[in-house]
């Protein structure tokens, strides 16, 4: 799965010193997973953070519902992350515990949240008068999976249905997910008439969602048209499927 990472910079009072090669702080905290599956039947989940750098890091952690810019104080999520703040020394690890608060959640489908890890490296030594310091924010998905869902997450991608359609006179690739599981795409392409048309940033398909994916140029379906798609499994690995394209609709 793709790890979303954001960069924050804090300049010293001598900000222009960047032009004369200042000391730079780099991200050092590594998350020991690319996604978290919170199985309701299994209770709390843990994830390990490791400092691969050479200096201590202050780490802040929280969950959100997908809004990257949301203020932490305004977020309402049915989970507790412990500890929310910690110091991680070089070569050491910190285990995060993620605990469901008990608030009601949909029981007929998965729900998705995002774990945020903000890595604030130590300030350079006092004699580093000119410096540019970075803080790195990484985000990975957390899927809350209720007990008793039909089928399995591994079976969901093969159950997707694909159809070539038009919207506002433009060709689109319409995909429907009849399952209670999310499907996170790594790549989607349409193979037709000796051509391969790749969909840009296909993203994630929610449970029971039908969505239109934009094709880069006009496409027509023939009897041999196939859809090839790669998706991220529960372990963060990439798996590939291929499916027949249903007839065009308008």
Are 43 and 79 in contact, with CB atoms under 8 Å apart? no
**Mean pLDDT across the chain:** 85
The 10s digit of each residue's pLDDT in 54-98 is 999 999 999 999 888 777 767 889 999 999 999 999 999 999 999
List the one residue out of 66, 76, 71, 83 whose CA is nearest residue 101: 76
Residue 179 pLDDT greater than 90, yes or no: yes
Residue 151 within any structural domain of the chain: no
Residue 26 is predicted with a pLDDT of 56
Judgement on whether residues 166 and 133 belong to the same structural domain of the protein: no
Residue 38 within any structural domain of the chain: yes
Residue 150 within any structural domain of the chain: no
Residue 191 is predicted with a pLDDT of 87
Judgement on whether residues 58 and 138 belong to the same structural domain of the protein: yes
Task: Please provide the distance, in angstroms rounded to a whole number, between the alpha carbons at the two ends of the chain.
Answer: 33
Judgement on whether residues 120 and 230 belong to the same structural domain of the protein: no
| d(C-alpha 115, C-alpha 84), whole Å | 11
Query: For residue 75, what is the DSSP state?
Result: -
Q: What is the mean pLDDT of residues 20-30?
A: 60
| d(C-alpha 155, C-alpha 69), whole Å | 34
Structurally, how many domains does the chain consist of? 2
Judgement on whether residues 163 and 137 belong to the same structural domain of the protein: no
Could you write out the DSSP letters of every residue in 215-233? Answer: PSS-----TT-EEEEEEE-
Judgement on whether residues 77 and 168 belong to the same structural domain of the protein: no
Residues 6+ apart with CB under 8 A from 53: 26, 27, 28, 29, 90, 121
Q: In the 3-class helix/strand/coil scheme, how is 159-180 assigned residue by residue?
A: HCEEEEEEECCEEEEEEECCCC
Judgement on whether residues 68 and 117 belong to the same structural domain of the protein: yes
| d(C-alpha 211, C-alpha 208), whole Å | 10
The 10s digit of each residue's pLDDT in 94-123 is 999 999 999 999 999 999 999 999 999 877
Which among 145, 174, 199 is the end of a domain?
145
Query: Which residues form the domain of 136?
Result: 4-145
The 10s digit of each residue's pLDDT in 184-211 is 999 999 887 778 889 988 999 999 999 9
Specify the CATH number for the domain of residue 100: 2.60.40.10
In which band, very low, low, confident or very high, does the pLDDT at 11 lie, cut at 50, 70 and 90?
very low
């Amino acid at each position: 799965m793709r790890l979303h990472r954001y960069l924050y910079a804090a300049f010293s009072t001598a900000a222009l010193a960047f032009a004369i090669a200042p000391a730079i702080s780099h991200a050092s905290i590594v998350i020991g997973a690319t996604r978290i599956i919170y199985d309701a039947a299994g209770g709390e989940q843990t994830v390990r953070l490791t400092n691969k750098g050479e200096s201590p890091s202050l780490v802040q952690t929280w969950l959100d519902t997908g809004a990257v810019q949301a203020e932490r104080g305004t977020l309402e999520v049915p989970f507790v992350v412990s500890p929310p703040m910690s110091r991680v020394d070089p070569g050491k690890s910190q285990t995060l515990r993620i605990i469901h608060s008990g608030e009601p959640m949909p029981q007929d489908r998965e729900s998705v949240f995002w774990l945020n890890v903000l890595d604030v490296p130590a300030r350079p030594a006092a004699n580093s008068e000119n410096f540019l310091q970075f803080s790195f924010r990484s985000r990975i998905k957390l899927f809350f999976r209720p007990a008793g869902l039909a089928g399995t997450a591994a079976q969901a991608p093969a159950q997707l249905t694909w159809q070539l359609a038009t919207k506002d006179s433009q060709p689109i690739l319409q995909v429907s997910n009849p399952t209670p599981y999310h499907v996170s795409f790594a790549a989607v392409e349409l193979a037709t008439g000796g051509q391969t048309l790749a969909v840009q940033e296909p993203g994630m398909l929610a449970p029971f969602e039908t969505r239109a994916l934009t094709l880069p140029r006009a496409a027509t379906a023939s009897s041999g048209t196939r859809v090839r798609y790669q998706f991220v499994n529960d372990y963060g690995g990439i798996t590939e499927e291929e499916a027949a394209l249903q007839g065009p609709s308008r």
